[in-house]
Amino acid sequence: MCPGSFDPVTLGHLDVVRRARRLYDEVVVAVLVNPNKTGLFTPQERVELLESELADLDGVSVLTFEAQLLVDVCRSTGAGAIVKGLRGETDYSYELPMAVMNRHLADVETLFLPSDPQYAQVSSSLIKEVARFGGDISPFVSPAVAAALRARFGDPH
C-alpha cells in the first residue's frame, strides 16, 4: 500500500511506487481524498494520471479512500504493509507516530523508503507553486503531468 494525496503526482511519487513494486508482488496506490482540502486535481483526475503513469507496471492498482483509517483500507485490500517515501527528517518525524499507531491498530508494518536524492527537496506543494507562475517543472514531473498543470493554470505570461 502506497498512500498519499498525489496532487500533483511527481516523479518522486512514481519512483517510490516503482521501487515498492520491486519489493512486493502487488502494490495498491491509495489516493487520499481529504474533505478538508480542495485539491488542484479531482480524485478521479489524480487516479487517471497515476494509472497512466504506472500503466507499464503489472501488479499495481490505484484506488481512492476517504473518511476511514488507512489500516481499514489495508484490511479491505489485503495489504500487509504500508510503503512511505521519506524526503528527510521532517517527513520521518511526521510519519513515525502514524507507523506506530498503524501497527498498534492492525498489525500493519510501515516500510520507509528514502527518496532518490534528485527528488528529496520536491513536494507537490512546491511543484504547484512553481507551475502556477510558469516556472520549469519538467525535471520533477512527467510530460503528462506538466501538461495537466499548464492546462490548469494557463500560461502566466
- Dig out the grid coordinates for 45 from the structure: 483526475
Catalytic hit among 21, 46, 124, 128: 124
- The annotation status of 85 as a binding-site residue, yes or no, is yes
Query: Active-site residue 13, yes or no?
Result: yes
Q: 88: annotated binding-site residue? A: no
103 catalytic, yes or no? no
Q: State yes or no: 11 annotated in a binding site.
A: no
Judge whether 123 is annotated as a binding position.
yes
State yes or no: 120 annotated in a binding site.
yes
CA distances from 67 to 33, 44, 73, 83 (A): 8, 17, 11, 20
Find out whether 128 is annotated in a ligand binding site: no
> What is the distance between the alpha carbons of residues 19 and 150, in angstroms, rounded to a whole number?
28
According to the annotation, is 113 in a ligand binding site? Answer: no
**Nearest partner of 85 among 22, 8, 15, 142, judged by Cα:** 15
Looking at 18, 75, 87, 132, which residue is catalytic?
87
Cα separation, 26 vs 43, in Å, equals 22
Give the Cα separation of 21 and 2 in Å (integer). Answer: 10
Binding site for ATP: which residues?
Answer: 5-6, 13, 85-87, 95, 119-125
Residue ranges of the annotated binding site are 5-6, 13, 37, 70, 84-87, 95, 119-125
Q: Would you name the residues annotated as active-site residues?
A: 13, 37, 87, 124
Residues tagged in the binding site annotation for substrate: 5, 37, 70, 84
